[in-house]
Amino acid sequence: MAPNHAAKNGTVESRTVSVGPPLGTIKVGHQFVCECHIRRMFNEKRLDAAREANYRLQGVQVIESTREALLLPVKTYNTACTFYHRFRFEHPTPDYNYTDAALASLFVACKVEDTLKKSREIICAHHNLKNPDHQTTQDDKIFDQPSKVIIGIERYMVEAINFDFRVRYPQKILAKIVKKVVSPSADLSVFFPTAFKMSIDMYKTYAPLKHSSYTCALVVAQLTAMITGQFADEFQSLDALDWHTDEQCLVEVMLDLLDLYTQHGKATKVGPMFDLQVFIDTQIRINQYVEREGLSRYVNQCRECDSSILPPTPSTDSPTSLSTPSAAGTSTVKRGPKGAEGGTTRFIFDADEAVREKKSYDEHTKDEWEEWEDEVEETIPDPREDRRHEPRGPRGPRGHGRGHGRGGFDPHWNSRNRHDRRRRGGGGGGGGGFY
C-alpha cells in the first residue's frame, strides 16, 4: 500500500490499480434469452435478419433430416436445435457454414442425450441423403477430413453454450396437457399428431430459447385447437397461471409460430397440411386480441431500442465452408483474445457466486493513491556556461601564402619536429619553398 500524503490543495483522488495476475474472463450460462437481446446482437454484428432466418431454417432442416435417417429420438433433436441456435449467436454466418454447424450440434447432442453416434456416422447419413444415387458407408475415406472438422467445432460448440447442457422438452408436458383436458373417449388421431409436429416446427424459431416448456406446450395445444377446430373451447378456457405462464408469453410464442407458417410454410411439417388462409385468419384474430388487451408483441419490448435499429448491411457473400481448414480439426477463423485483460476463461453456472468472487478479488488488488502538489524553486541555467564545454570546430587556413609554405592547413605538421625547416608564414609573393 502506498503511503498517504496530505494534499495541500485540499483534494484527494482515489484510484484503483490492478495488482497481481488478472482474474480472467468469467462467463455465466443463461437459460433464456429475450427478443430485444437477439435484435441488438443482429444490429451490433450488422447481420441481415432475413438472411439469418434462412440459414436458421436450413440448419434445422439438416438436423431434422439427419436425425430421422439415424432414427434418433426427439429429445436429441430438441437438444441439437438449441445448441445450434446458441452457436449461431456466437458465430454468425461469415464464420462457419451452417451445414457444418448443424452436424456438429447434432454430434454434441448425441453425447448429451446418451444416444451416442460417431461423427462419421452423422456425416455419412447426411451424405447419403444428399446423394441417394451414390450410397456409401462410414468407413469411406472421403469422411476423414469432414470428421476432423466436426470434432474441431465441438469445442467451440460447448464454449458457445457456456457448458450449460440444460435443455427443455415440451413434448412431455404437451402430452400431459392433452391428457388432462381431453376426455379419454375423445378421438385424438388427428389432433395429437398435428400438435406433435407443431412442437417440432417450433424449434425452427427462437421460442424454445425465450420461454419455458410449459409456455411452449400450452401454445402448441391452443394453436392446434384453433387451426384444426377440435377442442377449441376446452383449451381456450385454461388459465395460464395454472401452467406457470401468462398471457403475454403465450401471445409471443403463438405469433412466432404463425409468422413461421405464413412466411416459411413449405419448410415446416404443419404448413403444407393446411391452407395458408387458415394461418392468416388465426394471426389476425391473435393480433386483435393483443390490441384489445393492451399487450405487446414481445416480452419486455423496448420502444427506444426498436427506434434505434441500424439499417441492415447488404450481404452478398456466401458462408465460409470448413471443408478445407488450415489445420486438422480447426477452423479457418482466428480466435480473438480470451478477455479484455487476458487470463483464463472460466464458465460458472451461478451468477451470484461470480459476483462474490469478483468482490473478494478486488479487496486484495485495490490500491488507493492520494495525490498532492508541492512548489519547488528551480534555478535557470546560464546558456553561456554550457558553451564552454562544447568542442571546438576544425581550424581554418593560416596565412595567405600561395606556395608550399604554411599558407594552408597541414594535418601532419608538428611544432616540435626539428627536421621541419619550412617557414611559418607564407607571405605575399610565391611563398617560401624548402631550405
pTM value surpassing 0.75: no
49-57 contact pairs (CB < 8 A, 24+): 49/312, 50/312, 51/93, 51/315, 52/88, 52/92, 52/93, 53/264, 55/88, 55/93, 55/98, 55/319, 56/85, 56/88, 56/204, 57/204, 57/264, 57/267
Q: What is the pLDDT of residues 74-87, one digit of tens each?
A: 999 999 999 999 99
The neighbour count for residue 203, using CB atoms within 10 Å, is 24
Contact at 8 Å (CB) between 312 and 48? Answer: yes
Give the span between the Cα atoms of 421 and 35, in whole angstroms: 106
CA separation, residue 299 to residues 28, 132, 290 (Å): 22, 45, 12
Amino acid 319: pLDDT: 37
What are 10's three cell numbers?
485540499
Q: What is the pLDDT of residues 343-364, one digit of tens each?
A: 567 777 777 777 888 788 777 7
Percentage of the chain surpassing pLDDT 70? 72
What are 159's three cell numbers?
464454449
What are 360's three cell numbers?
473478494
Q: What is the pLDDT of residues 12-34, one digit of tens each?
A: 444 444 455 666 677 777 778 88
- Label residue 294 left, alpha or beta by phi (over 0 means left) and psi (-120 to 50 means alpha): left
CA separation, residue 232 to residues 145, 236, 288, 303 (Å): 53, 6, 18, 34
Mean pLDDT of 184-210: 93
Residue with more model confidence, 203 or 94: 203
Least confident of 169-173, 249-253, 349-353, 385-389: 385-389
377: three-class secondary structure by DSSP: coil
Mean pLDDT of 210-234: 93
Amino acid 423: pLDDT: 52
Question: DSSP letters along 310-372, please?
Answer: PPPPP--SPPPP-SS-SSTT--SSPP--SSSS-S-EEEES-HHHHHHHHHHHHHHH-------
The alpha carbon dihedral of 378, 379, 382, 387 has a sign of: negative
Q: What is the pLDDT of residues 376-411, one digit of tens each?
A: 888 887 777 766 666 665 655 555 544 444 445 555
Alpha-carbon 226 to chain mean position: 38
Helix, strand and coil content of the chain, in percent to the nearest 5, comes to 50, 0, 50
Give the span between the Cα atoms of 365 and 263, in whole angstroms: 55
What are 222's three cell numbers?
391452443
The neighbour count for residue 420, using CB atoms within 10 Å, is 13
Q: Select from 260, 240, 242, 259 the least CA-distant residue to 250.
A: 240
Mean pLDDT of 143-163: 89
